[in-house]
Amino acid sequence: MKNGRVAVVGVGLHPFGRFPDKAVEDLGREAALEALRDAGLSYKDVEAGFLGRVTQLGIGVGQRVFGELGLTGIPVTNVELACASSSRAVMHAADLIRSGAVEVAMVIGVEKMERGMLQPGGERSYQALLGLTILPGAYAMMARRHMHLYGTKPEHFAKVSVKSHKNAVHNPYAQYRTELTLEEVLNSRMIADPITLYQCCPTSDGASAVVLASERRARQLSNQPVYLTAWAGGTPIFDPDEPGLSEGPTALLARKVYQAASISPQDVGVCQVHDAFSPGEIFTIEELGFVKPGEGGPFVWEGGTEITGRLPVNTDGGLLSRGHPMGATGGAMITEIVRQLRGQAGPRQVADPKVGLVQNAGIGGVNVLAFQV
């Protein structure tokens, strides 16, 4: 038996920031209760649980976090895809609902992180010893290549961060809620040229929760359902001609999602992309087909991704300002899209969006999801 469309019926967050006195179970529980309240459901309605998380949390985190909410015997699965863990968890929950196996599933994303620069791939000790593997370095090299190919300027990347910080002022869940000028961003400490400190996302504690339901079940609830109409995930594809700038086949996944949802990039009214470092927004809006390759820098510079622009991007402040507790980030992106599509985003509300897109990248993997009302 098929369940028809998949709906998001509840979203919730624990604020992002530093919460040394709270355990991940506390963060996850608060986000989950907010999402259940938002959905008008209780935990006993949830038939399957998925947890997105990345580091420092030990074995069986999902069982512990969901166990805080009740002991109802549901299956709980831990999902890890680096910074894209909870969006991938949402895809698994959606697959399960679409298959007809369950009618209500919940995703929780959690993370508690230490301060400082993350080191990917600890097994690559040769590269680590020589300082070759820093994450801002990887984005900086992609940025430099983009500058070489298209004439993109450091100011274009910095503008992304100015815009993100401006949006986050209106997001009570965001880690940084202070506006920054272009000069402040450009003149902050250089990390990996052209990326300065204020163009790097912070490390964060936080949690997100997303409740999904079958269309039939969603129609019984009071909230306006937001439909998750297409989703696709992938890993890098070997291309001998063009080494890609991004972490996965975003462009290919976007085409799949547009086709499956019968939409085009022009239909997208609000978008969340992976801006762990400011160049990410510029690469990604090109890969998602909103602008041609090389046009991302000028598009951002001219305000195209502002809340009032042609394509509002990262309206909640993005990873740069909302914060990036890795396991929670995908769920937070989805939370913002759902609030925008319902018209509940308050001072940062985009004018009447009908289609929202999420692009969430983890190290070596990427997810693209389309939402519609």
Partner 1 sequence: MAIQQKDRARPAVPLNERLFRLDEAEGGIPVLLGWRCPDCGHHFFPHRTICPGCGHIGLEEVDLSRRGKVWTYTIAHQVPPGAIVEAPYVIARIELPEAVLVSSLITDCAPEEVRVGMEVEITPVKVREDEEGRDVLAFAFRPVKKPAKETKS
Q: State the minimum distance, in angstroms, from the CB of residue 123 to partner 1.
A: 12
Q: State the minimum distance, in angstroms, from the CB of residue 83 to partner 1.
A: 18
Site for partner 1 in 97-116 (CB under 8 A): 116
Size of the site for partner 1 (CB under 8 A): 31
Contact indicator for 95, 50 with CB cutoff of 8 Å: no
CB atoms within 10 A of CB 144: 16
The contacts found for 179-183 with CB under 8 angstroms, 24 or more apart, are 182/155, 182/158
Q: State the minimum distance, in angstroms, from the CB of residue 151 to partner 1.
A: 12
Q: Clarify whether 324 is annotated catalytic.
A: yes
| C-alpha distance from residue 98 to each of 25, 33, 39, 102, 103 (Å) | 29, 24, 19, 8, 9
Q: State the minimum distance, in angstroms, from the CB of residue 313 to partner 1.
A: 24
Site for partner 1 in 190-209 (CB under 8 A): 190-195
Which pair of tokens denotes residue 134? 């820093």
CB burial string 78-90: b at 16+ within 10 A, e below: bbbbbbbbbbbbb
Q: Which is nearer to partner 1, 15 or 194 (CB)?
A: 194
Site for partner 1 in 131-160 (CB under 8 A): 131-134, 136-137, 140-145, 148
14, 156, 165, 324: the catalytic one is 324
Q: Clarify whether 83 is annotated catalytic.
A: yes
Q: Which residues pair with 357 in a beta bridge?
A: 271, 370
252 binds partner 1 (CB under 8 A): no
Q: Which is nearer to partner 1, 145 or 166 (CB)?
A: 145
Angle subtended at Cα 268 by Cα 371 and Cα 202, rounded to the nearest 5 degrees: 75
Q: State the minimum distance, in angstroms, from the CB of residue 136 to partner 1.
A: 8
Q: Which is nearer to partner 1, 121 or 172 (CB)?
A: 121
Contact indicator for 80, 24 with CB cutoff of 8 Å: no
Q: State the minimum distance, in angstroms, from the CB of residue 200 to partner 1.
A: 10
* From candidates 128, 169, 251, 373, binder to partner 1 by CB under 8 A: 128
* From candidates 20, 58, 73, 240, binder to partner 1 by CB under 8 A: 240
**Residue 194, preceding bond cis, omega within 30 degrees?**
yes
126 binds partner 1 (CB under 8 A): yes
Q: Which is nearer to partner 1, 1 or 237 (CB)?
A: 237
Helical axes 326-342 vs 85-99, angle rounded to 10°: 60
In three-state secondary structure terms, 266 is helix
Contact indicator for 265, 258 with CB cutoff of 8 Å: yes
14, 83, 271, 274: the catalytic one is 83
**Length of the chain, in residues:** 373
Which sequence positions are flagged as catalytic? 83, 324
Footprint of partner 1 (CB under 8 A): 116-117, 119, 126-134, 136-137, 140-145, 148, 189-195, 238, 240, 243
